[in-house]
Amino acid sequence: MENRIKLLGLSILFSIFLTACGGGGGSEESNNAENQAPQVSISGDTEVNELATLSLSASANDSDGSIADFSWQQTGGPFIDFAANGQQINVSIPAVDTDTDVSFSLRVTDNQGATATTSITITIINVNQAPTISVAGPQISSSSNNISLSANASDSDGEVISYDWQQTAGPDVEFENGSSTISFTTPNVATLTQLVFSVTVTDSFGEQSTALFTIDVSANSAPSVSITGSQNIQEGAEGVLTATATDSDGSIISYSWVQTSGPITEFTATDNLINYTAPEVETNDEITFQVTATDDDGATSSAEFSVVVENYINLAPVITFDAIADITELTQASVSVVVTDSDGVIADIEWQQLSGPSVDFVQNGETITFTAPEVSENAEVIFRITAVDDQGAISSASLTFMIIHVNKPPTVSDIAITTEFNESSEFTIDASDIDGDELTISFSQQLAGASITLVDATTFRYLYQPASNSISQAPFTVTVSDGTQSAQATVSVTITDTSAATVVNVSPEDAASAVSVNARVMLSMSDVMKSSSLVVNSANGVCEGSVQLSADNFETCLAIDSLEMTGPQGNDNEYFNNIEFTAAFNQATEYALRLTEDLVNFADTPALAQVVSTFTTGSTDLKITEVVAIRFSNDTPWFELYNGTDSSVNLADYSVRVKSRDSSDNSISAATIFNLPDQVIAPEEYLIVHSGFGDQLFYDTTEQNKYIAFIGDIDSTVRPYWFLNGFVELLTRDSGSTVDFVRFGNDTTEPLTPGQWQTGSAPVISNVTGSSIKRDIDNTDTNSSSDWHYSQFTTPAGVNDVSCEDDSDEDGIPDCSELPGSTFSGLPLHAWGARVNQKDIFIEVDYMDSSDAGIIPHQTALEKVVSSFAEQGIVVHFDVGDLYHQAGGISVQDHDLGGGDQVTFRQYTPFNFNQGVESLFHYKMANFDMRRKPIFHYMLMANSRNIDGSASSSGVAELSGNDLMISMGNWGLSLDNEISRNLTFNYQASTIMHELGHNLGLDHGGDESTNYKPNHLSIMNYLYQLRGLPTIGNNEGDRYYSSRYRENANCAVQTADLTNSPFDSPENFVMSYSHGLGSSIDENNIIEANGLRYPGSAAVDFNCNADLTETLSQDTNDDTAVTVLNDVDEWSLIELRFYTLFSGNRFGVHQQDTDQKDVSKHIQQRMIEEQAPPLQLLSEIKAARERQGIK
């Protein structure tokens, strides 16, 4: 502790001389103007230790008088009590915490009243006092004793803040330091030993004091121990040894026993006792045990004790018996033996059966008694007898005898079986054989067509199957034999029928349509029915009887004629299974056939009352069922025909009369007749008659599609035409008579055959693309306008089953067609995954027959597209047919909706017609179900857009349409290694999403064609189409560098180096349309520190000069212009209702069109062809394949 006491130096004398001046100044005025003021000074120490006594003395003189008074006063510092004695004061200095100043002043007055003053300041020095300390504790201790030492410390002018203990002599002991008390265990010493400890205490000012403390530790004496017990023991006998131990200066705390020599001996030690079993020995031998006693100070002593083990030989018992006579099964018997021991007594006898049928016996020493078990044949029984003497010697012997079998006949009970009509029934034969002999079962041959089949031979369980349609069964016999004797019983069968009869076959079938008016009605029942219960209407009128036929929901019923019953042979007069009859049917009428509970089966169980079939009779000819809306002057209109007859019809027998337009001069003709082509429409099928377009090759392709037929000569410019108003008339070609007719809007055209149309017209066809007028779902035909209604949704080549106009999720699918059990044009969209309030996109995929990985649609790629749309709440449904699902039926999870096909390979495929080779639309025409036209996009996985089949652009698609082509053949894509697979999957997925984006209305710049905009993070942007989207804030400019500066060392980035590159797993590859989160980039003022201008963006080196702090003017997207580049929210732009748009409603017609209001206005369907892949891209693909030596 630093010594804070300061020694006082020499006293310093301060003198203050004051001179009195007349007239007002700083001094007091004297009474006498001639009197001189006195002079005064103070002497004394200016520094003094606290608690000391200080004396101060004044020295004063007066040149013209004498000093009359000394007046002392404290003027500063803590209050101090002092005593003044004229010129001197004595001050008792108080204690202080820190050095402290105090001040005193003195005024002297002379005998004339003149005064003078002076003052002095003294510093009181704080002086710290060392703490005091003493140690308390035992000064003498035994070894291994727990003791404590306590330091008692105090400080008169502060407080003790720490204790530091140190052991300075003696064997080291362990203790915890830092407090006033320590505890420890004295060491175990052999002689008197001193332990010396020091403790140092420190006060709050760092002053320390130390004290020593000595402890004398006395030595520990070892205990004494001895063992007592028998010194001889026979082998196998039990022995006990006892240890006795004492300790002169403590107590015994434990005993430990071990065997030190001799044969290994089993023993148990408990404290000072040991129990052991003498081991077996060949000759007398010795075993030795040692015990170690430990006292409470850890001292130990040991003692040993030896025991002689004596060898002993015991003679085993002897077992004798006479031969045992044979014993008959089920009789009482006893068997005995004699057991003796020459050198002891028998302690135990045990009988044990070794083999033979189980014997339940009672033992009484040398004898057992039992009842001989029943056996199926003579059986040998062996027992083993074991005897043990009083010395543990054991003997055993085997005893054998025979149990003789006596045969008994089997037994069997009569059986009664009740079974349902035409249903089998299991039954069990209650047969047994007291001998347990194996039984055989046989049945008599009088089963009359019934059959009996073994179910379980162990339990004699059989299956009885009555003869087909049999309602009775004669009793028959069952015989049971054990091979020697036999028994018989009678089996009685009752056939009943408690279930209601059902219809197993009906014609016409339920929901059948186009049924001939001359058709016979046939009904087959599941049961044999009572003929007496079959009652029918004999005349038209009130419904009666058990079989009824009605056309008005059974308000009335039709007479049933020519009724015929057929049934079980020989029972036709009493029973039947099948009936046939005729009735007077009308055309195009719905009929219902039902049964009532009055119809009963042979067991009087009523049939299930139900309508068993609802069917519609056919028409006598074709019907017009739908007419599509026309918006533009060269739209390709169509109307729909339905064959409601019961036979196929050739369209070549018909023609159509309709308005027409000549595209060469836009002239309109009021009526033109077009012949229908040589094409067959099957019964109950729909077909659209379409205005012809395309080349001869395309016309030829239509022959492969049963849902469409073209009219209009290929070399003619005249085509069918209508607008808001018009008519369509179907004629027979040979006679020109009207088959069907419809007019709409304000058209007043009359059919060529009078009476085929009543007054009025069907509704106006609104000029809304994708709408139509149509008949109802039943194709009601009364030759009037009431048969027709306007619909926003066309159902081409299919049933008119759309019953609503709502599309709440705006995906182009009416809500009512997204409900369970619903259909659209007969297509089960709900079963395929469509839902109300869920945006759905359906895509049919046809793929060329090729092993090229760029052509085959890969499930991983398709599901990557699905997941990218799913993140935005849009569900994409691909249909690749059986590519991933070869089982029958559909599989939504495997993208099998029954439509996608593998198609013929061609090295070059154009998008348009008139190229001299098959285009995308040729493939679509040949393979696409026309009913899907308003709902499905059509995607063709083709080889190349180049005539020579070389690597071409990745694809082409309609803008705001529904047709797209992927053409990545010969790109070198493969599945040969992981990187190649990743490239293939990612390139295919991103390209499909890109081309589909065009179909959904997106251009390369979102809402504009401007491409390569760095801040437009979209798969539509060529900058990101194949590379994937960058990660904002994490090297976000890597795609930009890879595109523009691949060879610049400052920022060169290869495709493999991109964050989440296409070389990575598809799970990491990022693709999406833009969300519009990027701010605009002004190419006249590019601030590199702002990066791509997204939230969280990091700097991008736009000119690649390794300086990220610049502000540039630069053309960043290579469009030869320095402008403002904008991002856009593409997800809010996409339009799923392609069928309401010009491009989406066409079938590959790309020429200009005229608006419906003004033929001078034109609209152009636009398709977008992608750029050819750069050589660098193809080289990267090749390099990825060659990483594993694949060329």
| SS3 labels along 311-362 | CCCCCCCEEECCCCCCEECCCEEEEECEEECCCCCEEEEEEEEEECCCCCEE
Q: What is the CATH number of the domain that holds 446?
A: 2.60.40.10
The answer to whether residues 636 and 1147 touch, using CB atoms and an 8 Å cutoff, is yes
Rg, Å, the chain Cα set? 60
By residue range, what is the domain housing residue 305? 224-310
Domain boundary among 251, 281, 310: 310
The region, left, alpha or beta by phi > 0 then psi within -120 to 50, assigned to residue 1111 is beta
Distances (CA, A) of 364 to 180, 401, 721: 85, 19, 119
**Distance (Å, whole) CA 1102 – CA 1036:** 12
Is residue 73 included in any domain, yes or no? yes
Q: So what's the pLDDT on residue 699?
A: 67
Is residue 491 included in any domain, yes or no? yes
Q: Is 808 exposed, middle or buried (0-12, 13-18, 19+ CB in 10 A)?
A: exposed
Is residue 1083 included in any domain, yes or no? no
The answer to whether residues 54 and 46 touch, using CB atoms and an 8 Å cutoff, is no
The answer to whether residues 999 and 960 touch, using CB atoms and an 8 Å cutoff, is yes
The answer to whether residues 262 and 286 touch, using CB atoms and an 8 Å cutoff, is yes
The answer to whether residues 377 and 406 touch, using CB atoms and an 8 Å cutoff, is no
**Distance (Å, whole) CA 810 – CA 1136:** 7
**Are residues 388 and 301 located together in one domain of the fold?**
no
Overall residue count recorded for the chain in this entry: 1191
Distances (CA, A) of 104 to 81, 88, 123, 429, 441: 12, 12, 12, 137, 143
Domain boundary among 404, 424, 447: 404
- Residue 566, C-beta contacts closer than 8 angstroms, at least 6 positions apart: 572, 576, 577, 578, 579
Q: What domain count does the chain have?
A: 8
**Are residues 704 and 652 located together in one domain of the fold?**
yes
**Are residues 760 and 874 located together in one domain of the fold?**
no
Q: What share of the chain is helix, strand, coil (3-state, %, to 5)?
A: 10, 40, 50
**pTM for this predicted structure:** 0.56
Cite the beta strand spans of 692-749 per DSSP E: 708-711, 718-720, 726-732, 738-744
**Are residues 324 and 374 located together in one domain of the fold?**
yes
Distances (CA, A) of 354 to 333, 359, 360, 396: 18, 10, 13, 13
**Are residues 636 and 720 located together in one domain of the fold?**
yes
The answer to whether residues 252 and 329 touch, using CB atoms and an 8 Å cutoff, is no
**Are residues 758 and 695 located together in one domain of the fold?**
yes
Is residue 541 included in any domain, yes or no? yes
Is residue 815 included in any domain, yes or no? no
**Are residues 847 and 974 located together in one domain of the fold?**
yes
**Are residues 867 and 766 located together in one domain of the fold?**
no
Q: What is the CATH number of the domain that holds 663?
A: 2.60.40.1260
734's tokens: 């040979």
**Are residues 335 and 453 located together in one domain of the fold?**
no
3-state secondary structure of 1152: strand
Crossing angle for the helix pair 859-870 and 978-999, nearest 10 degrees?
50
Those residues of the chain that have pLDDT short of 70 are 1-33, 569-572, 634, 694-699, 914, 1144-1165, 1188-1191
Is residue 649 included in any domain, yes or no? yes
- Residue 391, C-beta contacts closer than 8 angstroms, at least 6 positions apart: 312, 314, 343, 344
Q: So what's the pLDDT on residue 6?
A: 34
Q: So what's the pLDDT on residue 571?
A: 58
Is residue 1044 included in any domain, yes or no? no
**Are residues 687 and 794 located together in one domain of the fold?**
yes
3-state secondary structure of 1178: helix
Q: So what's the pLDDT on residue 133?
A: 93
Domain boundary among 773, 800, 827: 800
296's tokens: 């409470």
**Are residues 243 and 378 located together in one domain of the fold?**
no
**Are residues 936 and 877 located together in one domain of the fold?**
yes
The answer to whether residues 629 and 769 touch, using CB atoms and an 8 Å cutoff, is yes
The answer to whether residues 220 and 249 touch, using CB atoms and an 8 Å cutoff, is yes
Is residue 1102 included in any domain, yes or no? no
**Distance (Å, whole) CA 569 – CA 448:** 13
Q: So what's the pLDDT on residue 1030?
A: 97
**Distance (Å, whole) CA 748 – CA 760:** 8
